[in-house]
Amino acid sequence: MSQGPDTLMGKPPVVAPGHTSGSVTDKISSIVLERTPRWWWVGFGIAFLLVQLLLLSLTKLVLEGTGIWGLNIPVGWGFAIINFVWWIGIGHAGTLISAILLLLRQDWRTSINRFAEAMTLFAVACAGIFPLIHVGRPWLAYWLLPYPNTMGLWPQFRSPLIWDVFAVTTYALVSLLFWYVGLIPDLATLRDRSRRKWKKIVYGFGAMGWRGSAVHWHNYEVAYLLLAGLATPLVVSVHTVVSFDFAVGQIAGWHATIFPPYFVAGAIFAGFAMVLTLAIPLRAAFNLQDFITLRHIQNMAKVMLATGLIVAYGYMVEIFMAFYSGNQYEEFMLLNRIGGPYKYHWWALLLCNVLAPQILWIRAVRSRPWIVFLAAMFVNVGMWLERFVIVVTSLHRDFLPSSWGMYSGTFWDWATFVGTIGLFLALLFLFLRFLPMISIFEMRTILPEAKRPKESSS
Amino acid sequence: MAEFSSPAALIAACKATREAGYTKLDAYTPYPIEEVWEAIGHHRSKLPLIVLAGGLAGATAGFLLQYWASVIEYPLNIGGRPLNSWVAFIVPTFETTILFAAFSAVLGMFALNGLPRPYHPVFNVKNFSAASRDSYFLMIGTNDPQFDSEKTRSLLESLGAKEVSEVAE
């Protein structure tokens, strides 16, 4: 990247001027190696309490069964599926930032990719809980996997639900690998910089004896690029398969070919909203304005706006197809969304996902992190509502009026959902405290001092 | 083993030692520098081939698993539809391809780099911990035919090394 055109365009830099390889290393590793700030304990404490709420809800669920939730026929898919899709969608921005933007050589990704990947992992962990507990007897969830068993049974490989098992498991494992490989050189830095013996040993284990040899770096870079190349189609496939869970079914409102692209765009939209939700407070809390600059906030806001428009297009196609198809059930489904018993959800969804992000067209708004934060919060809520509308309004009034019904979450539905938010935050707090939240070695590569040799040699 | 304070100095030193006829070279840097690797003169990485093999193995294993389960071991006749409904099997096949390829990329990278290796003689070099911060090292192997304790040391010093030290095996 050349500095020239960017400064001419008036764009803020990717790293504040004046930093060197040493200062970047010291600043980022000090977050991990220095004393724990007091607010960390407060934040972690609140998140930890919510984790207890999750454990309580799960215990109650195992003891009494899914009857503690609001699920019933006709709405057999409720919060568990809504939350599953919401969480897994959030995860997608992490992979997008780390893999796709790496392949596109967008160097502004460097200071946000590490915690975006961590966000992916934790979001997938939260997402994974829901289908497992939704099966009713979670202790038998391993039946989903293909393995030789005494019952002589095998999974139905033609079902999107089994595709989901493969897609989500692969996604979780590949995200973990990608994240860990990215961490190795930084763990070596922490090993070399920590003063306590036990810290040296623990980080040393993680670093696997990394010593920064030129041959190692070469293999490492090849591995990292290949992983990015593999993760890119993977991330698209995961949300496509999630959308198949709906689109392959024959319920009006689910059975649509627009679902895969619209779900993938929605996932990236939701994910960027969550990255912004996390990045804006974090840069303020850790004084990282030098590394997570306004440039990052602005670019992420633009990606959020663009994917938001794709999602809005998806809504438009849904409305258009409902009438264009000439199918009375499709048409009814849509009118029922707009004016039926869940109309407030639908209108709130439009407000959050379509209307609110439009303020990001204005450059002055994109340069004010806290307004961007507010817009991102709207999107977080809006994307949850979107899944609620898709799952609930499609199911609650299907083909026969005699089988219509209503659905609402119970206390335990909400407790489980809020509990997973607690789990997500608790894992994130632990990550911030024990691992470098910004990739140190990649930050070194985008510093001006790393550019010099290239210019002199060519 | 010589320590340099800037990447440009290290690259120049790599080129100079190559020209002086040394072949057993390695460099240690805080971040990947392509020129260093080129200046040292190593071959292409074998990793892409390993990953390709891993991906193909994953595709084969994934498809055969489904074929075997759905056609041979547990055939379900649903309205006379074909048992080998390969179109539906593509999705899990794709996922296993990615999974196996990703694992072979990571494990292959470890294997080619000889990691994990918790101890290595270079860790004994004074100030080597700065190699993961902001220092750049060039190492000439003692098994190099050109190697001569005195001459090598003076060559490295003439290239502007901050400090030259010998690493005990």
Domains, chain A, with CATH or none? 11-146+153-452 (1.20.1630.10)
* Residue of A245, A260, A249 lying closest to A333 (CA atoms): A249
Residue B96 lies in a domain: yes
Any idea what DSSP says for residue A249? S
Per residue in A19-41, pLDDT (tens digit) is 777 777 777 777 777 777 788 88
pLDDT digits (tens, 9 = 90+) for A391-443: 998 888 888 888 888 888 899 999 999 999 999 999 988 888 888 888 777 77
Tell me if chain B has a CB within 8 Å of the CB of A206. no
Q: Nearest CB to A441: which of B30, B101, B130?
A: B30
Render pLDDT for A121-131 as a digit per residue (tens, 0 to 9): 899 999 989 99
CA atoms of A362 and B64, how far apart (whole Å): 54
Q: B111 in contact with A at a CB cutoff of 8 Å?
A: no
Same domain, B82 and B54: yes
Alpha-carbon span A56 to A42, nearest angstrom: 21
pLDDT of residue A82: 92
Does B24 fall in a domain? yes
β-bridge mates for residue B163, sequence order: B3
For every residue of A108-169, DSSP letters joined together read GGHHHHHHHHHHHHHHHHHHHHHHHHHTS-GGGGGGGS----TT-----TTSHHHHHHHHHH
A95 within 8 A of B102, measured Cβ to Cβ = no
| Count of domains forming chain B | 2
Same domain? B68 vs B96: yes
d(CA B169, CA B164): 16
Q: Which of residues 180-199 of A touch B (CB under 8 A)?
A: 180-181, 185, 188-189, 191-193
Parent domain of B73: 47-113
CA dihedral for B118, B46, A183, B37, sign (positive or negative): positive
In this structure, the answer to whether residues B38 and B76 fall within a common structural domain is: no
Q: What confidence score (pLDDT) does residue A47 get?
A: 92
Q: How confident is the model at residue B168 (pLDDT cuts 50, 70, 90)?
A: low
> Could you tell me if residue B100 is inside a domain?
yes
Angle between helices A411-434 and A110-134 (to 10 degrees): 150
**Cα–Cα dist A14/A110, whole Å:** 9
Q: Is B127 part of a structural domain of the chain?
A: no
The reply to whether B118 falls in a domain is no
Is residue A391 within 8 A of residue A78, CB to CB? The reply is yes
Task: Check whether residue B39 and residue B76 sit in a common domain.
Answer: no
| Contact check, Cβ <8 Å, A210/B96 | no
Asked if the model's pLDDT at residue A458 lies above 50, the reply is: no
Give per-residue pLDDT as tens, B65-115. 999 988 888 888 888 888 888 888 999 999 999 999 999 988 888 888 777
Q: Same structural domain for residues B69 and B108?
A: yes
**Two structure tokens written together for B74:** 């547990």
More confident residue, A217 or A17: A217
Cβ atoms of A248 and B62 closer than 8 Å: no
What values do phi and psi take at B163, rounded to 5?
-155, 140
The closest of A435, A107, A123, A439 to A277, measured between CA atoms, is: A123
Q: Which of B42, B105, B132 sits opposite A226 (nearest CB)?
A: B105
Q: Are B45 and A220 in contact (CB under 8 A)?
A: no
**Is the CB of residue A419 less than 8 Å away from at least one CB of chain B?**
no
Q: Which residues lie below 8 Å from residue B121, measured CB to CB, with a gap of 6+? A: B167, B168, B169
CB B101 within 8 A of CB B58: yes
Q: Hey, is the C-beta of A156 within 8 angstroms of any chain B C-beta?
A: yes
> A265 and A310 in contact (C-beta within 8 Å)?
yes
Task: Find the radius of gyration of the CA atoms of chain B.
Answer: 25
Q: Which of residues 23-62 of B touch A (CB under 8 A)?
A: 26-33, 35-37, 40, 42, 45, 47-48, 51
| Phi, psi (deg, nearest 5) at residue B27 | -125, 155
Cα A3–chain centre separation: 31
Asked whether residue B15 is domain-assigned, the answer is yes
pLDDT at B52 over 80: yes
> From A202, which residue of chain B is nearest by alpha-carbon distance?
B118
Identify whether the C-beta of residue A414 lies closer than 8 Å to the C-beta of residue A408: no
As for the ipTM of the complex, it is: 0.84
Q: Which of A162-166, A275-279, B96-100, B161-165 has the lowest mean pLDDT?
A: B161-165
Task: Indicate whether B77 and B40 sit together in one domain.
Answer: no
Query: How far apart (Å, rounded) are the C-alpha atoms in residues A407 and A413?
Result: 12
Asked if the structure places residue B123 within a domain, the reply is no
Looking at the structure, tell me whether residues B29 and B63 fall in a common domain.
no
Residue A7 has pLDDT above 50, yes or no: no
Q: What is the pLDDT of residue A183?
A: 86
The residue among B107, B116, B5, B115 whose CA lies nearest residue B51 is: B107
Is B109 within 8 Å of A452 when comparing Cβ atoms? Answer: no
B102 — contact with chain A (CB < 8 Å)? Answer: yes
**B28 and B56: one domain?**
no
- B97 and B154, same structural domain? no
Q: How many CB atoms lie within 10 A of CB A225?
A: 16
In a domain, B18, yes or no: yes
Over range A84-88, report the average pLDDT. 92
**Average pLDDT rounded to a whole number, residues A284-304:** 84
Q: Is A222 touching B (CB cutoff 8 A)?
A: yes
For residue A260, whether the previous peptide bond is cis, meaning omega lies within 30 degrees of 0, is no
For A267, the token pair is: 């996932």
Tokens coding B58: 């994953």
Same domain as B35, residue B66: no
Shared domain for B61 and B91, answered yes or no, is yes
Instruction: Say if residue B108 is in the same domain as residue B54.
Output: yes
DSSP-derived secondary structure letter, B125: S
- Cα separation, B3 vs B128, in Å, equals 9
Which residue, among A321, A319, A299, A307, has the nearest Cα to A383 in the 3D structure? A307
Q: Rounded to an integer, what distance in angstroms lies between the CA atom of residue A20 and that of residue A199?
A: 25
Reported as a pLDDT band with limits 50, 70 and 90, residue A450 is low
Alpha-carbon gap: A194 to the closest alpha carbon of chain B (Å): 11
- Please provide the average confidence, as pLDDT, over all residues in chain B: 79
At A129, list the tokens. 């809980």
Give the gap in angstroms from C-alpha A128 to the nearest C-alpha of chain B: 17
